[in-house]
Amino acid sequence: MLARLPAGALKNVASLKAARTTALNGARGLQGVRFASSSSSSSAFESFASSRVVLASATALTVGSVAWYANLYGTLPFIGEVHANSPAEEGLHPPHYPWSHAGLFDTFDHASIRRGYQVYREVCAACHSLDRIAWRNLVGVSHTADEVKAMAEEIEYQDGPNDEGEMFMRPGKLSDYIPSPYPNEEAARAGNGGALPPDLSLIVKARHGGADYIFALLTGYRDPPAGFEIRDGMNYNPYFPGNAISMARVLFDGLVEYDDGTPATTSQMAKDVVTFLNWAAEPEHDERKKSGLKAVILFSALTVISIYIKRFKWSVIKSRKIMYNPPAEKH
């Protein structure tokens, strides 16, 4: 029967078989190339991930992030605090008070800041400095520009030299910083029995417990319990580390007379001066919260728009159906 077929038909069958064999070999070669490229890319990724530079960079990034968080917030959320002192030496832990500016959307009570500055000026400024606050910082926060200028001009500052090379005294300006009660550290120690009164610019941030600790300390003076020995010149305060503090009680009912008529009780004066010191430690507090709220609103809107555009752009690609119709074989 094969003898009846023409020779051209046999040649066509042989050429078709050779073409199919070549196509299969080519597909296997492409598959091998694909596997080789994927294996080479995976090996390159593994070598990149295991390189010392990448590991060192990842370690540096992790350590830097932890150090940055600890610098901002003081403690880490997953590591407990370790103290060398006993709880008695640390002092009584202050209670948490409902400060009016403690909320996410709350700002400082500026009337309280004004009253707090009055308490600082009439009571605290006799011993404690406020080196980081200039007169201009009070403008628009607790006082008007004219009021601050009048307060600054009441104090004389050394300036110079003049044309003759001599220093001279001049009235204060808005750019001057609030002066310290003592010219140097030695004079401060000599005037306080050897104890150095700390600067109050950052005292709220520098003490564990922040504003709660300062308020509890100012209102926590009392007689020592039975059996507690205290040296001469020291005062008992359960919130101070060691329970003995050289600073005596300074706030008493009616000590100052507020301009707005607020009753000057001990707790009211302590609350006002702590609010003022909290503002002194964070003058950008209100602006930071306003900027943060704006950023949250802006990025939330951008996130919603980005999700919508992504779904709109990719919906056509993800929902399309690809079909392949092979060409019909010709007989």
Beta bridge partners of 169: 158
Say what the pLDDT of residue 33 is.
Answer: 42
Say what the pLDDT of residue 2 is.
Answer: 40
User: Mean pLDDT over all residues of the chain?
Assistant: 84
18-41 mean pLDDT: 47
Count Cβ atoms below 10 Å from residue 295 Cβ, excluding itself: 10
pLDDT tens, position by position, 255-286: 999 999 999 999 999 999 999 999 999 999 99
11-33 mean pLDDT: 48
> Per-residue confidence at 328, pLDDT binned at 50, 70, 90?
confident
Closest CA to 113 of 287, 249, 266, 281: 281
What CA–CA distances, in Å, run from 302 to 262, 291, 294, 310, 315? 47, 16, 12, 12, 20
pLDDT tens, position by position, 136-170: 999 999 999 999 999 999 999 999 888 888 999 99
pLDDT above 70 for 1: no
Say what the pLDDT of residue 47 is.
Answer: 64
pLDDT tens, position by position, 101-139: 998 899 999 999 999 999 999 999 999 999 999 999 999
Closest CA to 258 of 113, 118, 142, 147: 118
Say what the pLDDT of residue 202 is.
Answer: 96
Helices (H) and strands (E) in the chain, counts: 10, 4
pLDDT above 50 for 29: no
pLDDT above 80 for 331: no
pLDDT tens, position by position, 59-71: 888 888 888 777 6
Q: Number of C-alpha atoms within 13 angstroms, CB side, residue 178?
A: 24
Say what the pLDDT of residue 53 is.
Answer: 76
173-177 mean pLDDT: 96
Mind spelling out the 3-state secondary structure of 75-144?
CCCCCCCCCCCCHHHHCCCCCCCCCCCCCCCCCCCHHHHHHHHHHHHHCHHHCCCCCCCEHHHHECCCEC
To the nearest whole percent, how much of the chain has pLDDT over 70?
A: 79
Closest CA to 126 of 298, 247, 259: 247
Weakest mean pLDDT among 79-83, 149-153, 210-214: 79-83
Weakest mean pLDDT among 22-31, 45-54, 313-322: 22-31
Take residue 289 and report the two structure tokens written for it.
């919260």
Say what the pLDDT of residue 83 is.
Answer: 52
